[in-house]
Amino acid sequence: MAQFGEDIFFSTIAELNARLKKREFSARELAAAFCDRLEKTGPKYNALALSLRDLAMRKAADVDDDLRRERFRGPLQGIPFAVKDLLTVAGKPTTWGAEPYAGQVFDYDATVIDKLEGAGAVLTGKLAMVELAGGGGYRYPSASMTGPGLNPWDVTRWSGGSSSGSGAAVAAGLTVFAIGSETSGSIMTPAAFCGVTGLRPTYGYVSRYGAMALSWTMDKIGTLCRSAEDCGLTLQEISGGDGKDPGSAGKRFYYAPQFVRKFADLTVGYAPSDFEESAAESSRPALREAWRVIKDMGFRLKEVELPDFPYGAVTGTIIRAEGSAVFEPLIAGGQVDRLADKDQIAGLKAGLEIPAKDYLRAMRIRRLIQDEFRKLFVDVNVLVTPSRFGPASKVEERLGGAGDAKPKSRGLRDLIPAGNLAGLPALSLPCGFDGGLPLGISLVGRPFYENTLLAVGREFQQATDWHRRRPPATT
């Protein structure tokens, strides 16, 4: 049996795949090591929903048989991964992070899981999440059947929602990469708070078949990884058209950063107020330094600002109306009262009362927002802003409080809700620390512009080592 040091759990996809091909260790040995670590350490961060060791060992044995025969299926072959517990795994519980669904079992795998297993990746577990992916609006990190997501950098801090387990598991080296989902910030937030690389793909790029629905018109499946390159390799496998998802764009992604235009020919849009007024004062030095690294890559620069729209209100109206419609049986049957967060219970009930005229008005404003982004991307190729404007909050703190600064300039502060409304791709990169807690910087582009974002992200990570840092508790 191979003996693995700590380094193995923080290796990239390419590093592990190369060692598997050289037969330095077997896929079964690697999967067993990650299963051990996930089962032992996952509960420490409230990150583990369900171990899938039995499935992992069977899949890893198949991978070893392929490797012995030199049947190489790509960079994900033999790589352990885990998924947010809103994705179905045939014959296994899929709880959606919520006690009313604790015994829920489906008889099919989500399309994303089918694709990854087809590429030879090894599923080791399901990861904890905020109940119902935050549907209805939660106010405390404890809104989860498994308890609040704890940050591997400081367990008194939140790991971020709603993909809380996915962010913590990658940060702590419990899995090589994790699948999460985002409707409005649920990949960007845990990526920033946990110091990992997160990719929110263009709406429709990745099938949602087999994933819990929260908002049909905004839900997206994405990845949390060790690096930008890992995000690209993963997206290449999970993207593609799927007739089982009505929102599928019918497009396949191929990771090819080498064909991206020269950086000198690209224009980066930014807002100075994001790094000064909007960011927490203690976070500004690290965020300024990250911005300096990006500027030194040789882009053309242009100061920009989001147009004046009520992004938060529009996002909230759409998600609440669609989410409450999805969970109407839960609400009507009274089972909604078994959720952990009282504000979320009230929000789901209230969502059923949103008038059709308000929902339609929000959708019309959304269309105007999409039109404004099209105009913005005529002169700008990539937008850059902090992923979050400060580090992770305390676990016991109420979310959405009055602690944020109130900038004079709008800047790009609302880019998470705005970008999700427009279905834009985003990449969050670790970029430094504030009091020992990670910070992230985000790149946002026009639809299907992932290769450019990943090329910039890869260059940033070649110039820095923030993505290589490890939480002290895991070393």
Could you please report the per-residue DSSP string of 404-432?
S---SS-TTTTHHHHHHHTT--EEEEEEE
Give yes or no: 181 in active site: no
Closest by alpha carbon to 180, among 194, 190, 193, 195? Answer: 190
Q: What are phi and psi of 206, to 5 degrees?
A: -120, 130
CA geometry: angle at 394 spanning 390 and 395, to 5°? 130
CA atoms in the 13 A half-sphere facing the CB of 268 = 24
How many angstroms separate the CA atoms of 157 and 387, rounded?
17
Query: What are 249's two structure tokens?
Result: 């764009």
How many angstroms separate the CA atoms of 247 and 209, rounded?
10
Give the torsion through C-alpha atoms of 392, 397, 403, 404, to 10 deg. 40
Query: What are 288's two structure tokens?
Result: 């300024």
Give yes or no: 142 in active site: no
Q: Which of 11, 142, 162, 248 is catalytic?
A: 162
How many angstroms separate the CA atoms of 398 and 141, rounded?
8
Q: Which of 11, 26, 59, 84 is catalytic?
A: 84
Give yes or no: 442 in active site: no
Q: Which of 181, 186, 215, 442 is catalytic?
A: 186
The catalytic residue positions are 84, 162, 186
